A and B are shown apart, each in its own frame.
Chain A
Amino acid sequence: MAVQDKTSGGVLYLLPDMIVKVIYLVPVMFIWRALAESGYEMEMSASQLLSYTYVNALLADLTVVSTCLSAWNYDTKSMEMFTRPMPVFGQVIARTMGEWVPTLLLFSLPMFLAAPLLGIGVMPESLWAIPSLVLSVSLGFAFEFLFYCVTVRLRNVSWLTYVIRSAVTSFFSGTVIPFQILPFGMDRWIRYQPFGSLGGAFLSLYVGSGEAARIIPVQLFWNVVIWIAASVWFRKSRERMVSFGG
């Protein structure tokens, strides 16, 4: 159903999103290449940086999860879920994972296969990247429910919640700029904040710039904490939900 919903207008309408991803990807990769060639000593090699950015583009939906709960309530998607005899959490997760499928098949898979032709390594350096990805996705869903509660509590100011969430995750998840290359030794503390266990943690394991023994326990810890917080707060907030149409 989610795949049908995503492609109901025709697969062609997915193309702009894919083109935009490539447009964003190319300059970042050239910046890494330029920095690597400038002779500065970096904590990550050029090939690691390129793989980091490339894999992030392929798995962008998974590294920082975004569900229909992030959308505004005008289309009743969130309201509809309360009328069905199924858990809301399960519906959101199933629907979101279904929505990933077209992009994974039509964009990520071809780009993955094309990577060797571009000279980019896309094979994981450690198999710990797989459980790390699962934990990262799980934490992403927990944050979605948490931010949904913020939206409900702020009387549907979805835009404000969206701005806070996007701003925080774009920098603090480490998916755009790896923590390891930040100045002032920021990586020593920034990796331990909760958003650091999203895509950035998985990507550093994937390209071999992080250690599983240090990353996985932190991801587990934040999963437990944020899921408990999200469940409790969601239970308390859901009856306050309103939808005005739009």
Chain B
Amino acid sequence: MAFQKGKIAFGIKRYFELLGIYARMDLASLMRDGKFTALVILSDIVSNISSVSGVFLLAWKFGGIGGMDRFEVLFMLAYGNIVMGFLNMIGGCNAIFPSRIIGRGQWEHMFIMPLPYGVQLTVGIFPFTGSSSFLSGVGILWVAVCHMEMALPWWWLFMLILQLLISMVIVTAFSYLFSSLAFYAPVQCEEIASTVVYSMEHTRSFPLTGMPVYIRYPLLTIFPAGLMAWFPTMILLGKTAAFETFYPAVFAVMISLTAGYFFRKGFRYYVKKGINRYVAGGHRS
């Protein structure tokens, strides 16, 4: 029993050591020269401003969009930035885009590593080079909250964190669900996860309030971009019915179970068939 406890404690300690190693490598990569650092910071600033500016400028001009006022739209845009920013930060080594790992034949590299798959996928963090979207999202969210007239109860912050986590689970599960296809068609589906996630990222910035149900429902079920920012925002702003509050959590559980089932199924197929994607020169075929 004591041996088991020691083993678990060592595992946790080792996990955080690996996180620290990746964090140091990320910092070293950022600081390798001044010009590079300046360019990364500049590109991140431009990228983050661009990602929210279009829709927010529209909201500003028209005093809001589809029943949401200017700062509610800004809140929604910031929420989406936090979701994607955090996923980019912790899933930087393609953990959020597993079809790339599979399609590039790198899943096989993971077989020989003396670490569980979950650890290999989650320790590759980019806390410095990948944090700009997350930090800018937090900043913009703060600005939006300060300008909203709603009185926030004490538990609102916990609700915000919970909704953010649920949104992240949905995006990750959706990515893994589609990545299962890469086990069967590695070349064609190498970028399927990025296609799906980036499409959700682009679509998340549209306020769906006031859109007809035949647009809104598919974006909350079949292609759940609405659960990345719009619907959680409506929950956090108290604009949904009580029973709707639980919908994102229920959806997250269902999509996770489905993704888990199909990913394992694909993996079993892959173990039998394998992959051969590299030519002698080291380049991909």
Report A's interface with B, CB cutoff 8 A. Answer: 9-10, 13, 16-17, 20, 23-24, 26-28, 30-31, 34-35, 38, 40, 74-76, 154, 157, 160, 163-164, 166-168, 170-172, 176-177, 181-183, 186, 243, 245-246
Contacts and interface: CB of A to CB of B under 8 A. Distances in A.
B34 interface: no
Majority DSSP secondary structure for residues of A touching B? helix
Nearest to B192: A16
Contact of A154 (B39, B47, B65): B39
Identify the 10 closest CB pairs spanning chains A and B, nearest first: A245-B282, A167-B47, A183-B61, A9-B188, A27-B206, A167-B50, A164-B43, A171-B50, A20-B199, A13-B188
Given A10-B188, A74-B283, A160-B43, A31 B50 contact: no
Interface of B: 36, 39-40, 42-44, 46-51, 53-55, 57-58, 60-63, 65-66, 104, 185, 187-189, 192, 195-196, 199, 202-203, 206-208, 210-212, 215, 219, 223, 225, 281-284
A13 B185 contact: yes
A27 B58 CA distance: 14
A35 B283 contact: no
B47 A24 contact: no
28 contacts: A9-B188, A10-B188, A16-B192, A17-B195, A20-B196, A23-B199, A23-B225, A24-B202, A24-B203, A28-B206, A30-B211, A31-B58, A34-B66, A35-B62, A40-B63, A154-B39, A160-B39, A160-B40, A163-B44, A163-B47, A164-B43, A167-B50, A171-B53, A181-B61, A183-B57, A183-B60, A186-B57, A246-B283
A38 B62 contact: yes
A129 B126 CA distance: 45
Contacts of A31: 58, 65-66, 206-207
